[in-house]
Amino acid sequence: MATHTPKNILITGAAGFIASHFANRLVRNYPEYKIVVLDKLDYCSNLKNLIPSKSSPNFKFVKGDIGSADLVNYLLITESIDTIMHFAAQTHVDNSFGNSFEFTKNNIYGTHVLLEACKVTGQIKRFIHVSTDEVYGETDEDAIVGNHEASQLLPTNPYSATKAGAEMLVMAYGRSYGLPVITTRGNNVYGPNQFPEKLIPKFILLALQGKPLPIHGDGSNVRSYLYCEDVAEAFEVILHKGEVGHVYNIGTKKERRVIDVAQDICRLFSKDPDASIKFVENRPFNDQRYFLDDEKLKILGWSERTTWEEGLKKTLDWYTKNPDWWGDVSGALLPHPRMLMMPGGLERHFDGSEEEKPESYVSTNTRMVVPPSKSVGTPQKHPLKFLIYGRTGWIGGLLGKLCEKQGIPYEYGKGRLEDRSSLVADIQSVKPTHIFNAAGVTGRPNVDWCETHKTETIRANVAGTLTLADVSREHGLLVINYATGCIFEYDAAHPEGSGIGFKEEDKPNFMGSFYSKTKAMVEELLREYDNVCTLRVRMPISSDLSNPRNFITKISRYNKVVNIPNSMTVLDELLPISIEMAKRNLRGIWNFTNPGAVSHNEILEMYRDYIDPNFKWSNFTLEEQAKVIVAARSNNEMDGSKLKNEFPELLSIKESLIKLVFEPNKKTA
């Protein structure tokens, strides 16, 4: 295991919440390390946070901005810095909507200045960049496995986008210049000293003042919380044992809804939650859930120590004793803070005294830009309302856009498919006319993942789908269930190239992957439910050729492909048909593919002819493919006559590909 023993550490943003706990811990535990802290003392910084370290001989505070290249270079050289712990950042999502350029300046440009200084001085042994779980974007409500360190970054707001941008720079400097970089991505942190724009201190201070606790939306948003001292210990472990070039999630699998947090705080104050909680308009773009896989850091020897109950009690005790730590924070306690935008605010000193910055420094750019509400006036009640599961999935996301285009009211389900009571709550809250299930596990990044995560795959694909079907039947609701046709394989009765496709009543014959086994199993059981319309999707394709899940995008990026004909689903044509099927209350099993089959080479030939005349590829055999994949892949042609009879306008696969995918993307010379 890699070990690092620093001598002179620079901690940026150390007068802020998390960094101050870490800085105080290092100063206390390692008197032989010299700790230099750099902070520009923005609105959410407070020198009082560093009082425990103030008189220590190994501690030095410098007021300054990481965006100042001269200052950063000077500090690295004169203090012989060999290690940087980079915490400094603007972090409050709400503020990032109204003042996003400040976030770019602080979070991206500031990080770039630090990296360049490290490159120029050439003396840094570790650069530890502190990022956030929000760079992964919203986690699917149904996900049973959290985002791991290699997961795709899909930020959803200006704050998380700037943190992801900073991460890209860190990674690039590691690769281009050999800088010894490590990145951390953490869940929410709480505890003493936190500025009260954040949820837990805000609720505690409001409860202390006898005021209601405002909850955005319905309070169902889920977050994971770690106590600040546990997080400080995590950074201590990563500093000494983290491997260069690696990313470490600092997280917990314990999740809490915002409403649960508010209720726990009410209980600690012996307040009635029903009387003390007030529901307010949701904040814009409020992600439903962030969920991390925390195994990698556990292997280094770190684990969460502080229970939620213990941490919350410690935090409450501290705020009770220090209610005026931050001075007048009435603006931060509003349901939707619009204040304290950079670079205004107060400068606080070690003794707690404050001085106003000159008037000219106060930013006037404090307006929050909120998108207009979807409903204007009082429209007539629509005869349809869809409840959709799989919000963060490809098909689930496209369904929402189609509903908007067609003016059909819809909401995404908040419940977990395997949690019956949460599905009942969704149905009672949304009151849908139809349910669409586009949730489930297909693998990360492909079905090979399911081979080593069998119980998770069963929970999502079998238990979750059956629970949804059962609950929906109890409520008299039709479920449009997006399933898969990857449960068949060419055989003697359906030979490749014969045009004889598998029909809806045929029994699955492909068990080469665990994913396909679970899908065949649940399809068989769903036959007993008369309220389910099962749509067998295969190798989905859309006109969005930038989407990595698009089958065309996938095979155009492979070095080699097998050349075999298959049935496929052009989503641009078939997803609107699935909405029509709901309107017609169709049930049973349907092969949800365009009629006919198309080979991989035929698709790549179209790609070359329409998109990229210089595109080249090569083929390999099924035997060669088998050597580079874990689970076998299904190849088949499905009989599309049942769907064609119901929708005579349905195009064959090749016609659909040309009309809806390749023609719209055609590159003109």
528-584, pLDDT tens digit by residue?
Answer: 999 999 999 999 999 999 888 888 988 888 778 888 999 999 999 999 999 999 999
Provide the token pair at 224. Answer: 């994971």
Q: Higher model confidence: residue 77 or residue 42?
A: 77
The answer to whether residue 173 is catalytic is: no
Secondary structure of residue 593 in the 3-state scheme? coil
- 343 prior amide bond cis, ω within 30: yes
* E strand segments, 277-375: 277-280, 346-348, 354-356
Task: Write down the H helix ranges in 178-227.
Answer: 199-208
Q: Per residue in 362-376, pLDDT tens?
A: 323 333 333 343 444
- Whether residue 534 is found in the same domain as residue 639: yes
- Whether residue 14 is found in the same domain as residue 126: yes
Largest CA distance in the chain: 85
- Whether residue 507 is found in the same domain as residue 625: yes
Show Cβ contacts of residue 544 under 8 Å, excluding neighbours closer than 6 positions.
Answer: 550
Beta-strand pair 222-223/256-257: antiparallel
- Whether residue 405 is found in the same domain as residue 525: yes
- Whether residue 300 is found in the same domain as residue 405: no
- Whether residue 171 is found in the same domain as residue 47: yes
Report the chain's C-alpha Rg in angstroms: 28
Q: Determine the pLDDT at residue 469.
A: 97
CB atoms within 10 A of CB 233: 21
- Whether residue 403 is found in the same domain as residue 298: no
Q: Determine the pLDDT at residue 26.
A: 97
The CATH number linked to 536 is 3.40.50.720
Q: How confident is the model at residue 281 (pLDDT cuts 50, 70, 90)?
A: confident
Nearest to 137, CA basis, from 364, 269, 289, 250: 289
Nearest to 660, CA basis, from 572, 597, 562, 588: 572
User: Is the pLDDT reported for residue 336 higher than 70?
Assistant: no
**437 burial level (CB within 10 Å; 0-12, 13-18, 19+):** buried
* Total domain count, the chain: 2
12-25 mean pLDDT: 95
653 close to 594: Cβ distance less than 8 angstroms: yes
109 close to 169: Cβ distance less than 8 angstroms: no
Q: Tokens 């509003």 sit at which residue?
A: 334
Q: Which of 43, 136, 159, 227 is catalytic?
A: 159
Residue 347 to residue 339: CA distance in whole angstroms: 16
Could you tell me the residue range of the domain that residue 547 belongs to? Answer: 386-665
333 close to 205: Cβ distance less than 8 angstroms: yes
In a domain, 497, yes or no: yes
Domain final residue, candidates 242, 272, 306: 306
SS (H, E, C) 434-474: EEEECCCCCCCCCCHHHHCCHHHHHHHHHHHHHHHHHHHHH
In a domain, 176, yes or no: yes
In a domain, 215, yes or no: no
What one-letter code names the amino acid at 53?
S
User: Is the pLDDT reported for residue 290 higher than 60?
Assistant: yes
The answer to whether residue 489 is catalytic is: no
**Which residues lie across from 372 on neighbouring strands?**
none
Residue 581 to residue 573: CA distance in whole angstroms: 13
Q: Which of 39, 65, 102, 134 is catalytic?
A: 134
Annotate 242-256 with DSSP letters as a single string: PPTT-EEEE--S--E
Residue 229 to residue 237: CA distance in whole angstroms: 12
Q: Tokens 């190849």 sit at which residue?
A: 635
Q: Per residue in 233-273, pLDDT tens?
A: 999 999 999 999 999 999 988 888 999 999 999 999 999 98
Q: Determine the pLDDT at residue 345.
A: 37
- Whether residue 297 is found in the same domain as residue 425: no
Q: Tokens 């195009």 sit at which residue?
A: 651
Q: Determine the pLDDT at residue 1.
A: 64
Q: Which of 42, 82, 133, 639 is catalytic?
A: 133
Q: Determine the pLDDT at residue 629.
A: 58
In a domain, 507, yes or no: yes
Residue 621 to residue 563: CA distance in whole angstroms: 8
CB atoms within 10 A of CB 222: 18
Residue 391 to residue 397: CA distance in whole angstroms: 6
Provide the token pair at 507. Answer: 């029994």
- Whether residue 536 is found in the same domain as residue 626: yes
In a domain, 451, yes or no: yes
In a domain, 613, yes or no: yes
- Whether residue 187 is found in the same domain as residue 53: yes
Report CA-CA distances (Å) from 264 to 127, 200, 309: 38, 10, 9
Q: Higher model confidence: residue 160 or residue 115?
A: 115
The answer to whether residue 133 is catalytic is: yes
Residue 443 to residue 484: CA distance in whole angstroms: 14
Q: How confident is the model at residue 283 (pLDDT cuts 50, 70, 90)?
A: low
Q: Per residue in 50-99, pLDDT tens?
A: 999 999 999 999 999 999 999 999 999 999 999 999 999 876 555 555 56
Describe the chain by its helix, strand, coil percentages, rounded to 5. Answer: 40, 15, 45
Provide the token pair at 620. Answer: 């390999």
Q: Per residue in 189-204, pLDDT tens?
A: 999 999 888 889 999 9
In a domain, 475, yes or no: yes
- Whether residue 414 is found in the same domain as residue 297: no
Residue 120 to residue 357: CA distance in whole angstroms: 34
CB atoms within 10 A of CB 151: 20
**Which residues lie across from 189 on neighbouring strands?**
226
204-225 mean pLDDT: 88
433 close to 407: Cβ distance less than 8 angstroms: no
Q: Determine the pLDDT at residue 632.
A: 75
User: Is the pLDDT reported for residue 665 higher than 80?
Assistant: yes
In a domain, 152, yes or no: yes
